Structure 1
Amino acid sequence: MDLLELSASDLSRSIAARKLAPSEVMAAYLAQIAKVNTSVNAVVSLRDPEALMAEARAADDAEPQGWLHGLPLAVKDLCATKGLRTTWGSPLFADFIPAKDDLLAARMRAAGAIFIGKTNTPEWGHGSHSFNPVHGVTRNPYDLSRTAGGSSGGAAAGLAARMLPVADGSDMMGSLRNPAGFCNVYGFRPSWGLVPADAEGDTHLATLATEGPMGRTIEDIARLLTVQAGVNPEVPFGRAGEDYAAALHGDLRGKRIAWLGDWGGAYAMEPGILELCEAGLRVISDLGAEIEAIAPPFPAAKLWQAWITLRAMLNAGGFKAIYDDPAKRAQLKPETIWEIEQGRALAAQAVYEASVIRSRYYAHMARLFQRYDAVVLPTAQVWPFPAEWRWPQSINAVAMDTYHRWMEVVIPISLIGLPALSLPLGFGAQGLPMGLQLAGPVGADAKVLAMGQAYHLATDWPARQPPKL
C-alpha cells in the first residue's frame, strides 16, 4: 500500500481503525519531503524529523481528538503557529517564533494535526508567485522550471508532490484557486465569513480575504472546511459551519451553470486556456448539467476599480506602522510598497464609491443566481509561467499595468465573497495544469462542494502524479 496515494480521509479512517499508525504515516511523508522538497521548495521551516517522529509515536496510542489525528500538516506561512517559525515571507520576521496559534492553526491543531512546518508563500502574500527573500522560490511539481502560483503556492505544490495529505491556504485575490489550478489539485474559497479571522486589527472593513482548505479530493476539502469553519464571537459577520463531508451527495443532473469565459473579451487569455475549460465543461454537461454561455453581467472595468481601491485601502492601513519606519520600509518588496502608496493616496470618497460598485455588483449577482446554480470562469489567464519571473508582464502582447492584473479573472468571485472551488482540468499542450472556478451564491458552500464531488468522481485529475522529481 502506497500511503502517499491515500487521501487524507482514508488515512484518517485507517488510523481510527488501527490499520495504520500515525508514526507510519509520518515516516512516509518525511521520506517524501527528504526526497523531493529540495527541488520543489514547498515545505519551509521544517521541524526536526526525530522530534516529529517522537510526536507521531505518541499519537499512535493516544485517543483521537479529531479527524486530523496524527496527520502531518504544514501550515501556510501567513498563519501564526505557536512555537513554529512564521515569517510571512518577510525578512522583517525571518526569525519570528509566535507565542500562540492564530485561530485557524488552533482549530486544526485541536483536530489532531501534527504541525511539521510551514508552506511557502510570496512575501506578505502579495502576488500569485510563491517566492520571497527568506525561503526562495516554490516550483511547480509538474514542471520545475515553472511557478506553482500563489499565494498558497507551497500548499498546492506540497499536495501535488505528495509531501502533504491535505493543506490549508488563504485567498484574497485567487490565492486558493490559482495555485490549485496550476498544480492539479483542488482549492476552495469559502463564502466570506465562514472561516473567521482573528480579532486583530480591523475586522469590519476587511472583508476581502478568507482562509480555506486545499486537497487532492473533495472529501478532504469538505472535512478540513468543517474543522476550519464556524463563528468566532470576537469578530463580526460570522457564519455557522456544518458537516460538509456529509453533504457530498447528489449529482449534476438538472444544474444550470453559466459560463463566463473571458468576460466578453475583457480578460486576455493565453492560447489553449479557454479550450481546456470548455473541455471540462463538456464533462460537466455529460454529467447532466446545462451549460449556458452568457454575456458579462457587470462591467469588468468597474469591478477592477472597486477591487484595487478597496485592496489598496486595506494594505495602506494594515502596513502603516511598518511603512512609517524607514528602516522597515526598506525591507518591503516593491509590490507591497506600491499597494501601500496607492492606498495612502486615496480619498474617502473613492473608497465609498468603490464600496457602492461592490454593493451593486453583489445585488446583480444575487439576481443572476436565481436563474443559475453556479457560474464558471478559468482560474487564471496564463499557464504556469517561468519561475524566474516576478510576474507576467503581458498576455498576448497586452501589457499588464500592475503586478496582479494578469489574474484579474478571479476578481468577480473575490470582490463579493462567493464560495468558489478550483476544479483541475487536466493538462494543456505543454503538459501544464489549469483549473476552472466553479462558484455559487454566498452561503452555498455545501452545494458547490457537492457539485465538485460529482466532477471529481468522474475525473480524479489529481491522481495523475507529477513526473518523477
Structure 2
Amino acid sequence: METCLTLSAAEQAAAIARGRLTAETLMEATLDRIGAVNGAVNAIVSLRASEELLAEARAADCATPAGPLHGLPIAIKDLANVRGLPTSMGSPAFAGQVAEADDPHVARLRAAGAIFIGKTNTPEFGLGSHTYNPVHGTTRNPYALDRTCGGSSGGAAVALAAGMLTLADGSDMMGSLRNPAGWNNVYGMRPSWGRVPSGGGGELYLHRLSTLGPMARCPADLALQLDVMSGAERMQPMTRDAAPCGTPEPRARGRRIAWLRDWGGAWPMEEGILALCESALGVLDAAGAGVDATAAPFDRDALWQSWITLRSWSNAADLGPLLDDPATAGQLKPAALWEIEQGRALSALDVHRASLIRSDWYREAMTLFETHDVLALPTAQAWPFPADIDWPKEIAGTQMDTYHRWMEVTIPASLLGLPVVAIPAGFGAAGLPMGVQLIGAPGTDAMLLEMAEAYHRATDWPRARPPLLS
C-alpha cells in the first residue's frame, strides 16, 4: 500500500480505472499514513471516521467511474464548505458549524469522483502566512517540525509534502497557495481570476483579490485538478470558461523570464533566498528559457499602499459583522481587528485612489509582458520561521510594520489577478525549502504549467521527502 501513495494523482486515477488499484486499497493506505504522521504535523483536521471512508471507497469500486478523480482521497481547506463537514475557518466563532452544502469548486470535485476525508488546517479566517488557530492548533513544517509551514493553505501543503494526499485545494489572497508551496517543497497554483468560482456568498463584484486553486506534488496533478475546478458559474458574474489545460507537455524553450529578484533592492530578503531562486531559474535557462535580470517595473510604496487599502477594505466588509455581533466580537484575533479598523477608516476616494494605482500597475505589467512571457519572484522573503511566534518582526535587519509586510513579494500578482505557479526551488543551507513564483499574463495558465512541467522533469524536488517519512 505504501507504493500507491508515491504515485501521482493522475497515476492513481489511471490505476483505479484499469483495475490495478482499488479505491479501498488507496483509502487504507491514506488512513495508515495519516495515522502515522499527522500527529506530528497537524495538517488534516476534522477527519471523518475510517469506517465511513472505507465504505465510501468500496462503493466507488463498485460504481461506474464518476470522473477523472474517481476514488481519490482529498481534504478541503477549512475556509471552504463541504456538505456534512465542519467549516471552522480556524475561529472559535465558527467552531463546530457544519456545512449544509458544497461550495461550487467542492461540488465539482465531488462530481469528478473525489472522496472527501476531512479538512486541511488554516490560520484563523485565513489571515497571515502561518497556520495556527485556537480551534485546531498549529500545523508544523514536515522538513523542520519547529518551523512554520506558511499559510494560509498550510495544512494542504503539509498534507502533500508528508505523503498523506496527492491533491489538495487552497485559496490565495496574499500568497496562500504560493508561500506554503514554497516552504513545503510542493507545487501551488493561483489561477487567472475568474477561472475557478469562489464560495459564491456575499458581494459578487467589488472585492476581487482572492481566488481558489490547486496544490499538488507535480504540475500534471495541478492541471488535473484545475480542469475539474474551472469554468463559469451561473450565479457568479465574474467567472468565465477557459480551455482545459490537459496534461502539460514540458515546454520552456523560447520563453523569456523577467527575474525581478528583490524589486530593485526595495524588499528585504533573508540571506540565501535569491541565490537559491536564481539556481532554480538556471534550470529553466538550461531548458531553453532565457532569464533576464530586470529592474523593478513599478514603485514599491505605491503597490503596497494600493494593496493594504484594498485588502483592508475587503476584510473589513467580510469580518466587520463579526465585530458588531456581541456574541463573536471578543473572539477575533488581533490581525482581524486591525484589518477591520483599517478598512472602516477608509473613504470612498481612498479606495478609488488605490484602484487607480492598481490600474497603473496593470498597464505597466502588460507592457512588460510584451517582451517577457513570465515574471519570476521568490515565494517568500524569509525562510520558514519558528512555529511558536506569530509572525517575523524583522527581515534582514528591516523592521516589519504589519503582520503581513514580510509577504510583500506576493502582491504584484495578487493585485492584478495574474496566474502564478509556485515551483519548489530546493533547499537552503539550513535544509529548509523555498520556492519561485512563475507569473504569467491573464489567461496563460496552461503555458505556466508547461514551463513548470519542464522544470519538474529536470528536478522533481518533491521526491526529496521530509525526514519524518524517511
**Smaller-chain TM-score bracket:** over 0.9
Q: Is the 8 A contact 2:79 2:87 kept in 1?
A: yes
Whole-angstrom CA distance in 1 between matches of 2:91 and 2:69: 30
Runs of 4+ in 1 over 4 A off after TM superposition: none
Tell me if structure 2 keeps the 8 A contact 1:270–1:396. Answer: yes
1:52 lines up with 2:53 in the alignment: yes
Asked whether the 8 Å contact 1:422–1:436 carries over to 2, the reply is yes
- Match of 1:206, SS state, is coil
Q: Look up the equivalent residue of 2:132 and give its one-letter code.
A: F
TM-score by length of 2: 0.98
**What's the CA shift string for 1:144-177, capped at 9, x where partnerless?**
1111100000000000000111110000000000
Deviation at 1:245, TM superposition (A): 2.2
The one-letter amino acid paired with 1:135 is: H
**Which residue matches 1:199?**
200
Could you say which residue in structure 1 is the equivalent of 2:276? 276
Report the CA distance between 1:326 and its aligned residue.
3.1
Compute the displacement of 1:236 (Å): 1.9
* TM-score where L is the length of structure 1: 0.99
* Counterpart check, 1:373 vs 2:359: no
Kindly report which structure 2 residues correspond to 1:281-300, keeping only aligned pairs within 5 A, or say none: 281-300=281-300
Contact 1:187 1:422 in 2 (8 A): yes
**Residues 1:146 and 2:147 aligned together:** yes
Give, in angstroms, the shift of residue 78 of structure 1: 0.3
Single out whichever of 325-334 and 119-128 deviates more from structure 2: 325-334
Q: Secondary structure at the match of 1:327?
A: coil
Q: Within 5 A, what are the aligned runs for 1:26-425?
A: 26-246=27-247, 248-425=248-425
Helix, strand or coil at the partner of 1:86: coil
Q: SS in structure 1 opposite 2:213?
A: strand
Partner letter of residue 323 of structure 1? L
- Cα deviation for residue 396 of structure 1 reads 1.4
Q: Please report how far the alpha carbon of residue 254 of structure 1 lies from its aligned counterpart in structure 2 after TM superposition.
A: 1.2
SS across alignment from 1:242: coil
Mapped partners of 1:80, 1:282: distance in 2: 41
Matched residues in 2 for 1:455 and 1:310: separation?
34
Q: Give the partner amino acid of 1:263.
A: W
Report the counterpart of residue 429 of structure 1 in structure 2.
429
Measure the CA separation in 2 of the matches of 1:196 and 1:327: 31
Contact 1:79/1:104, CA 8 A, preserved across alignment: no
Unmatched segments (≥5 aa) in structure 1: none
CA distance in 2 between partners of 1:395 and 1:312 (Å):
23
Query: Which residue of structure 1 lines up, in the alignment, with residue 439 of structure 2?
Result: 439
Distance 2:464 2:242 in 1: 32
Aligned Cα RMSD in Å?
Answer: 0.9
1:222-276 residue CA offsets vs partner (Å, 9 max, x unmatched): 0100011100121222221332124x12521111110000001111000000010
What letter is aligned with 1:29?
Answer: T
Provide the identity percentage: 56
**Structure 1 letter corresponding to 2:375:** V
Please list the CA deviations of residues 84-130 of structure 1 after superposition, one character each: whole Å capped at 9, or x if unmatched: 11100000111100111111111111111110000000000000000
The 3-state SS of whatever aligns with 1:360 is helix
Q: Distance in 1 between matches of 2:134 and 2:319?
A: 19
- Which AA in structure 1 matches 2:454? A
Q: Which moved more, 1:319-328 or 1:454-463?
A: 319-328
Distance across 1 between alignment mates of 2:320 and 2:283 = 48
Letter in 2 for 1:90: S
* Equivalent-residue separation in structure 1 for 2:250 and 2:83 (angstroms): 40
Does the CA contact (< 8 Å) of 1:198 and 1:235 recur in 2? no
CA distance in 1, matches of 2:418, 2:459: 24
Could you say what secondary structure the match of 1:146 adopts? Answer: strand
SS in 2 for 1:446: helix
Letter in 2 for 1:285: D
